[in-house]
Amino acid sequence: MKIINTNIKDVKILEPTIYSDPRGCFFESFNKKKFESILNLKINFVQDNHSVSKKGVLRGLHYQLPPYAQAKLVRVVVGEIFDVAVDIRKNSNTFGAWVGEFLSSDNKKQLWIPEGFAHGFLTVSDVAEVLYKTTTFYNKDAERIISWKDDKINIIWPFKNKIYLSDKDNSAINLRISEVF
């Protein structure tokens, strides 16, 4: 597995080694021993989530407050998304900065998003199925959402057509320093 650094030190792109032949391909999407060795950390995933979204659906920017903060490993098994992680660690020198990466069933890249980051994605293919592992269970009371169009964060979303949001995401507010890490 190849690790690709991003402009935020702790957010990583993981690119698996793919073995292809005329029958198709094979790759390890997750190997705990290799993952921990590459990232130099101990990890314990407790929940797998599977999301199906149509083109133009934007989910996020979601995070959970401590002690329910989640690290995530995100990948796409059908279609393509533009995946985003926003640094919300108030003492970080990259506070408010974001990383965006196209993840697809074709490129098989994964995005490692540690605790202290908000996460969201935009579906750019007709349909996308996203799988992500989390290090803590979902806790509704600890969940917070930052507006996808917060002008202080200024994410450049790669879609100019209509964006489709859930009611919860549509009512999200801008980043508030009082509700971050």
d(CA 105, CA 123): 12
Q: Which residue has the tokens 């196209």?
A: 102
Catalytic (active-site) positions? 62, 132
Q: What number of helices (H) and strands (E) belong to the chain? A: 2, 13
HEC-encoded secondary structure of 71-101: CEEEEEEECEEEEEEEECCCCCCCCCCEEEE
Q: What secondary structure letter does DSSP report for 24?
A: E
The answer to whether the peptide bond before residue 114 is cis (omega within 30 degrees of 0) is no
- For the CA atoms of the chain, what is the radius of gyration? 16
Contact indicator for 14, 2 with CB cutoff of 8 Å: yes
